[in-house]
Every structure is written in structure tokens, then in C-alpha cells.
Chains A and B, each alone.
Chain A
Amino acid sequence: MSATEATARTMSYREALREAIREGMQADERVFLTGEDVGAYGGSFGVSRGLLDEFGPERIRDTPLSEAAFVGAGIGAAMGGMRPIVEVMTVNFSLLALDQIVNNAATIPHMSGGQVQIPVVVRMTTGAGRQLAAQHSHSLEGWYAHVPGLKVLAPATVADARWMLGPALADPNPVIVFEHGSLYNREGEIGDTAGPAGDITRASIRRPGRDLTFVAYGQSVWTALEAAETLASEGVEAEVLDLRVLRPLDTDAVISSVTRTHRAVIIDEMWRTGSLAAEVSALITEQAFYELDAPVGRVCTQELPIPYAGHLEQAALPNTTRVLAAAREAVGGDG
């Protein structure tokens, strides 16, 4: 294979994550993967399929259904010099480990006066859209992004799935990675080097535009891109800003985009009340109020536990129809 052929490959988001884990484990023997069904089963979402054969049960370490214990053990192992990747099957189950993440991982580095580092990566699936009903459909990224001491990532693209894990593993702080459940089968092209996808500090413009900024993360980035296509056919050029990093937020990227487009619609699968969208909206009004030609719009999940029935679930989520309505409202004014 020639060098040019090697520069771009097509793979799924799932495969990209697997390749990133493999690379991390090959590069550093302190890296191991642990969690429910990561080994023999191959990962609840198939991310770690094959890795048990490749690395063995010491480093691809199945756990009992004990979220507090195995997340806490990952935190403790990081304190003890390892570089654990802890897979919590979904954000819903991570609530059983919230004590370890919030009371231990986020506090101990500071509370110990800087004596202790906790370089753990905790990966979890998030989001709705697959008719899994309320207890398997939460989007609680903002709960974690609320907590000082944590870093929170949300790879939306295949390239980000492939390249954000490396820097997350190298980071001396606890890093929480949210993988939207609808993204695993998404295919994309990746290059053979990380490029901007290997950064875990900045947001990324996925589509440039002059009339309106969609601020989104995770699956909502794709909803925003779809809406932007429709708007383009109507003569409205929407910019799509993928936050990528939910803590610390790339405030400059948000403000800079809104300063150019003068309109913002934030798309967030959290419930509207107390959402990340609320935080971004507040940032815009604090720092770019006089740049705005329209009120900041928010498209979030409706205020209800996610229903099972497909039509209800879709109606509850920030779907393209709702995003388009918010965008048209923003640009329809006298701007």
C-alpha cells in the first residue's frame, strides 16, 4: 500500500474507539480496560471485541455489576500509577458510581494539596433515540461537566473517536468520555495522524456559516448538520460548532462564532432545565450580548422521562424539525 493510500481509511465510530484503545494499550503497559462485559462479551456496544484475545484477561478485565467498586478501583489504580480505561456501560448506570467520580476522582487531587494525580479515563454511552425507554436514555453530560476537577469529552465524529482517547490517557486528570449510543455505527474517514482531532481542549467548526451558529455536541452535531443542509437550500448559511470538550468549555470558540453570525441556537439532548445549553446560553449573554441580533435559542429534550414509543421519543428529542423551527425563529426576525 502506498503512502497516499494509507492516509485515509473508512471505519466506524466503534472501530475507531477500538483502535484507539488498542493503540493506548500497545503504547503503555500501564493502560488497561475494565468494566462490565468488556472481555468475553466484547463490550456491550462491541467496542472491545477481540481485545481480550489480543491482550488477555489481566488487561481486558471483566467486572461484576458493581459500578461503584470498579469505577472506584479504576480511580484507585490511577492513584497507584496505572492508566485505567473504565467502561461504564451507560451513563444511566454511572449514577451508581457517582460517589466515586464526584466525591473521590474530582476532589482528591485538590483536597490532597496536589499530592495525588488521578489519570483515569471513564468512558460511557449516553443519549436516547433507540427506543430503550427512560432508564436507558439519559443524557447527563452536564452533571459531570458541572464538577471542577473532571474533564469531560464528547467525541461526535469518527476521527474524534479515534484520536481523542490518546490525549485523554496522557492527561493527568480524570477524564470522562461520553459516546452517544447512536454514533457507534456511524462511518467516517480518518487519516493516519491525529491532526486537530488529537486535541482535547478546543471546539471545532464542522460547517462554516455566516447567518447563524448551531452549538452542539455528540449526536446533536449531526442533527445540526442535517438542519444546516436544509437551511442552506433556503439561503441561510448556518455554522455548526461542535463543542467536543464539555469541561472546560471552549468559551472563545463559542463567542467567536456568535460574534461572526450574531445568532445562536444551542442543541442539547439534556433536559432544558439546568442543561449544558443553559450554560452556553449564559456565556453568550455574558460575553457577546451586544453582538446578538436575536435571542439565543435552545433546543433540548422535552421535560419528561424518555418514552418508549418511537414517535413519542422522537418528539421529545431535539429533532431536526424542532431545530429548524428554532433556527427560522432566530433568523426570521429583523436581523
Chain B
Amino acid sequence: MTGAAGTDALRTMLLIRTFEERCVELYSAAKIRGFLHLYIGEEAVAAGIMPALEPGDRVVSTYREHGHALARGVPARSVLAEMFGKVEGVCRGRGGSMHLFDVAHRFYGGNAIVGGGLPIAVGLALADRMAGRDHVTACFFGEGAIAEGEFHESLNLAALWRLPVIFCCENNLYAMGTALARSESEVNLTMKAASYEVPAWSVDGMDVDAVADAARRAVLSVRAGDGPCFLELRTYRFRAHSMYDPDLYRTREEIARWRERDPIDAYVQVLRDAGTLDDAALEALRDETRAVVDDAVAYAEAGTPEPVDEMTRFVYAEEAAP
């Protein structure tokens, strides 16, 4: 990416990183509870994919989704207020960290059942296809989902019906604590997608330019009606699976090796080498993202809890179907 697009991608990655580092502090301060799955290390994936989507396109995500939501443009303050369990949160505090929905941004969760979002993505794409809209649906999931039947059923169905889905597999090598080779007899993930006649390719998920290139290519093909695509985004989470995870299943050395490939540091260097970023510009971006996160924290802190007598609202729809 060049020019403003490059700066935007860096800004997005910095926002995700700053936001989540603050989340760790807020978790320790017990402002955020429940599960908290951090995206730190994987920022280039969200920052690379989202710019390829149009406003009308749809996103289905997982429980490790703060990065997807922020990169999609869901306001940081609404995301954080949700994680604080406040009524100002995107889901009025009903979803929390793992279930961010923002229909205005065509962001459909936030699914905490591994593989559970894939059939939903197929259905959203089916709706667009049947209604004659040229939207595409980007569906994020981890490599752990490939062991689920829903992955295979969904790829087959999307391919059979030639639906506009981009299956974005974030391969961070571990399904919670289980390394890929310990859960899959065949670790070549693109082959699995190819077996359903779905065009598939692997991308360096630590390189935001590579991700953006792949995403543009995939979106072009999918939007043209050529059926679904599968992207394997090779990435790594620098932090533990969740705040409960003692991270016993991988070595410090392995984590350190991946940290050397930090997608933000790498991209800062790319932009410096291209002459489009200097120290002052970088500092300005850092200040800007810090300010966004500071604002989000203040907004979430000032938020209000939903009255308990309203907790059953929305179990059933309050309005007639359109």
C-alpha cells in the first residue's frame, strides 16, 4: 500500500495494539471481566483485509475480534463500553468481548463457538446473492476451526452454491494450546479448501501489504461471482490464548522469534524505507491512537449499567420484521 492507504493501515494496527494493551490493564483492574482474547501480533490481518471491503459488505468474526471490529470502523468507545458491560456498548453489554455486533458496520459478531460463524457467513452471502446485491461476506476463523465439521460443510455449501464468501483463516498455529500438527493429519490448509474446489492461497499474515494484496484479489474474484475464496493468513499471537492461559505449550524462544517479525515494527520500517513516514509522523500516529483509546476508556467508565428490569429485552424481537 502506498500513501494514505499505508498510513491508514499503520494507524489501524497501532489502534488495535494500543487498545488491547490498555485492555490488559483494564482487565487487571477488573473493569473487564470474563474471557479476553487478545489479537496482539495478528494486527496485519485485520488491517490488511478490511480496506478491501466496501461499506455494504459483511463481516463475521470470532471471539478474538477486537481487531476485526476496530479495523472495520466500529468505534473504539462502543467496543470498550461493551467490554465494560455498559448500556452504551455496541450490544448494550449483553455480548462482551467475544460478541461484538454492529449492524451499522455490517459486523455480525463475535461467535464464540469455534466454527459456528461459518454457516452464518454462508447464509448472509446467500441472502445477498438471492436479493441480487453484489456484497461479499468476509468470514474470519482460526485454524482450529478446520477440525470442526461446520468448516467442511460450509466450504462445500458455499462452493456448491458459488456464494460470495471470503473465508479468512487466521492460522496462528495454536488452537488454544493445541499445535496444528497435533490436531490435523494434513497441515496444508489450502489443500483442504482446494478439495472443495475453492481457490485458496497462503499469505504472510505478518505483512500487511501482502494481506492487503491477497484481500483485494479475493474480493475482486468473489464479487465478480466466481464463488468463494479461502485465504490462509499465517500469523502468530504474541500473547496467551486468553487471560486465563499460562502459555505452557510453546517455548519462550518461539514467541521471541515471532516477535522479531512484529507486523507493526515491520510496517513502520517499510514506510520509512519508502520515505512516507518519519519520526514525527509516527509519533503523531501514536498520539492519535492513544487519544482514541483514552477517549474510549473515559466513555466506557462514564457508561451506565442496563437496568436489571430490562435484561429480558430483545430475547424476542421488539419490532415486527421489516
Which residues of B sit under 8 angstroms from A149, Cβ to Cβ? 315-316
Which residues of A sit under 8 angstroms from B116, Cβ to Cβ? 72, 99-100, 103-104
Which residues of A sit under 8 angstroms from B120, Cβ to Cβ? 72-73, 75-76, 79, 100, 104
Q: Does A2 contact B (CB under 8 A)?
A: no
Distance of A109 from chain B, by nearest CB (Å): 6
Binds B, one of A168-176, A258-266, A276-284: A168-176
Task: State the CA gap A111–B90 with chains docked (Å).
Answer: 10
Task: Encode A38-78 as 1/0 by CB contact (under 8 A) with B.
Answer: 00000000000000000000100001101011111111111
Interface residues of B in 150-190 (CB under 8 A from A): 150, 153-154, 156-157, 160
Task: Encode A247-286 as 1/0 by CB contact (under 8 A) with B.
Answer: 0000000000000000000000000000000000000000
The chain A residue sitting closest to B128, CB to CB, is A80
- Do B315 and A72 touch (CB < 8 A)? no
Q: Does A108 contact B (CB under 8 A)?
A: yes
Q: Does A119 contact B (CB under 8 A)?
A: yes
Q: Does A148 contact B (CB under 8 A)?
A: yes
Which residues of A sit under 8 angstroms from B95, Cβ to Cβ? 111-113
- Do A76 and B91 touch (CB < 8 A)? no
The contact of A82 among B101, B130, B317, by CB within 8 Å, is: B130
Which residues of B sit under 8 angstroms from A81, Cβ to Cβ? 127, 131, 322
Which residues of B sit under 8 angstroms from A111, Cβ to Cβ? 91, 94-95, 99, 101, 109-110
Q: Does A205 contact B (CB under 8 A)?
A: no
Task: State the CA gap A112–B154 with chains docked (Å).
Answer: 23
Task: Encode B296-322 as 1/0 by CB contact (under 8 A) with A.
Answer: 000000000000000001111111111
Distance of B146 from chain A, by nearest CB (Å): 15
Given contacts A79-B108, A80-B124, A112-B101, contact A172 B314 (CB under 8 A): no
Contact size class for B? 35 or more
- Do B103 and A69 touch (CB < 8 A)? no
Interface residues of B in 114-141 (CB under 8 A from A): 116, 118-128, 130-131
Interface residues of A in 68-125 (CB under 8 A from B): 68-84, 99-100, 103-104, 108-117, 119
- Do B109 and A112 touch (CB < 8 A)? yes
The contact of A112 among B94, B118, B149, B320, by CB within 8 Å, is: B94
Q: Does A163 contact B (CB under 8 A)?
A: no
Which residues of A sit under 8 angstroms from B313, Cβ to Cβ? 114
The chain A residue sitting closest to B58, CB to CB, is A80
Give the most central of A75, A78, A110: most B CB within 10 Å: A110
- Do B119 and A117 touch (CB < 8 A)? no
- Do B124 and A63 touch (CB < 8 A)? no
Q: Does A32 contact B (CB under 8 A)?
A: yes
The contact of B316 among A70, A75, A109, by CB within 8 Å, is: A109
> 8 more A-B contacts (CB under 8 A) besides A79-B108, A82-B130, A104-B113?
A68-B149, A70-B157, A73-B154, A75-B119, A80-B131, A112-B99, A112-B109, A113-B91
Please list the 4 inter-chain residue pairs (A to B) with the smallest Cβ-Cβ separation, ordered nearest first: A76-B123, A72-B119, A80-B127, A69-B153
Query: Could you list some 30 contacts between A and B, CB below 8 A?
Result: A32-B130, A66-B156, A68-B150, A72-B116, A72-B154, A73-B123, A74-B123, A75-B123, A76-B119, A76-B121, A77-B123, A77-B124, A79-B120, A80-B123, A80-B131, A81-B131, A82-B127, A109-B315, A111-B101, A112-B99, A114-B318, A115-B102, A116-B101, A116-B103, A116-B108, A117-B317, A149-B315, A172-B317, A172-B320, A173-B316
